[in-house]
Amino acid sequence: MSFHSLPPSRLVLALVAAGLLGGAGATFVNTRHAHASAPPGIAGAPAGAAAGQPAPVHPATAAAAAGAPDFAQIARQQGPAVVNITVSGLRSASDDAAADDDARSGARRAPEDPFLEFFRRFQGPGGGDRQALPVSGQGSGFIVSADGLILTNAHVVRDARDVTVKLTDRREFQARVLGADPKTDVAVLKIDAHDLPVARLGSARTLEVGQWVLAIGSPFGFENSVSAGVVSAKGRSLPDDSLVPFIQTDVAVNPGNSGGPLFDTRGEVIGINAQIYSRTGGYQGLSFAIPIDVATRVMQQIVATGHARHARLGVSVQEVNQALAESFRLQRPEGALVAHVEKGSPADRAGLLPGDVIQRVDGQPIVASGDLPAVIGQAAPGKTITLGIWRQGQPAERVARLGDADAHDRPAARVAPASDHGRLGLALRPLAPEEKQSTGVDAGLVIAQVSGAAALAGVHPGDVLLSVNGLPVGDVQQVRAAMTRADRSVALLVQRDGARIFVPIRLG
């Protein structure tokens, strides 16, 4: 959808794929390295088990006795439509060595704050063009038409030269990748076969938090493994360039489950298992699935044209925290704060400005900044939308005609971190003519020195101050005037290395 990415430069946000080719895994935050092709361990008794003590009961087993869904029937009826996918391709030796270094060290560097390295790529050897080496990986998928259409994750088949699909009856077919959409992590495969078992597709729209769901896939290569759990949340936005409002569950999903179906209690597919949150590379209770409604829209476009199209608005947005909410006189810290508007973009033509807070799109609430890419990215290019915004303490509306993300290869909006400490302390000077030319800024102030709350909030010497609480500033007097109207916090719009971001500062 081509939102403009916001650094900080150390912010690492990525959709992650496990396995030697990135085809066997699920996304996670990790501090240890793992491989989808690692040999399976031998499962023993639980660590706390002892003679004379009752064996622990899995939640699904306990719930079944209390009238839970018949998971056995769902697995029996829908399992034959789930396939194992094996991929092979080439990756560079340089990335291979880097992955081996991580494996030898046994750990990755811990993030410096909750935003940094929130998602790291989990993949095996490979990744570049230098000295390519053959690699392989595994994933899952499911059949959606009797003549061989298969849905899976885009990261499962990323960089694959050969794709092999294995059915539950042990037959194997070479598959063609009809298309893959990295923005939603959906891919469509085709095998030459007929009269195949087909998974029943449902809808995630009526899914409720707390509802039982079941996953079938090939974790660590163990084909047609079944796991069950409940829906933990809906519409979850992840800071990874994705345009997907994820379904969060506590279903056990591991490397190899990627691309496999998530079923509801009716035995209908309501999601594609795609990501996990983990510090180890394995399941830790947080799994994320792509809603099937999103996947089917992408599939229809890929089957028709070979690729999927997504809309773009042309803004950089960041999260609204409590300090920013107070600075912009918002009742609650909700919405997507516009930090930058691309010139000539749909947002620019609609009259959006830095400092606007987008609260609704066609009446749909935007609670977190990550909600905006998911809503815009799923819209069709050329669609006219109404944006409900908050500007200078007042509600307003703007109408925008969305552009085509394919015409502007830009990443989705990323949530930028913001701090909220202490007292304000800035030494400012006017921009020199050569600085105006080099930065592309006509009006603003160079931050010469930083102390107090501004320094703690992440403001750096050399940053260019553009506005205070949404009011443009071109001289020190304008800054002082804006500060006299400030309450407990102020929001500074600064430009650094060509990127713009709002930084909230507590006044104490």
Q: Which amino acids are annotated catalytic?
A: 155, 185, 258
For residue 197, count CB atoms less than 10 angstroms from its CB and return exposed for 0-12, middle for 13-18, buried for 19 or more. Answer: middle
Terminal Cα distance for the chain, rounded: 39
How far is 385 from 401, CA to CA, in rounded Å?
6
Which residue shows structure tokens 């076969």? 193
Q: How many CB atoms lie within 10 A of CB 64?
A: 16
Q: What is the DSSP string of 386-455?
A: EEEEEETTEEEEEEEE-EEGGGS--PPP-PPP----S---EEEEEPPHHHHHHHT-SS-EEEEEE-HHHH
Residue (of 255, 258, 284) closest to 271 by Cα position:
258
Instruction: Give me the residues paired with residue 173 across strands.
Output: 165
Which residue shows structure tokens 């803004």? 315
How far is 322 from 228, CA to CA, in rounded Å?
37
SS3 245: coil
The dihedral of CA 344, 350, 355, 361: what is its sign? negative
Q: How many CA atoms lie within 13 A of 12 on its CB side?
A: 17
SS3 105: helix
SS3 366: coil
Q: Kind of pairing, strands 489-496 and 499-506?
A: antiparallel
Query: Hey, what amino acid is at 249?
Result: T
The Cα diameter of the chain in Å comes to 82
> What is the radius of gyration, based on Cα positions, of the chain?
25
b/e code 129-146 from CB counts within 10 Å (16+ = b):
eeeeeebbbbbbbbbbee
How far is 403 from 2, CA to CA, in rounded Å?
9
How far is 83 from 153, CA to CA, in rounded Å?
13
For residue 62, count CB atoms less than 10 angstroms from its CB and return exposed for 0-12, middle for 13-18, buried for 19 or more. Answer: exposed
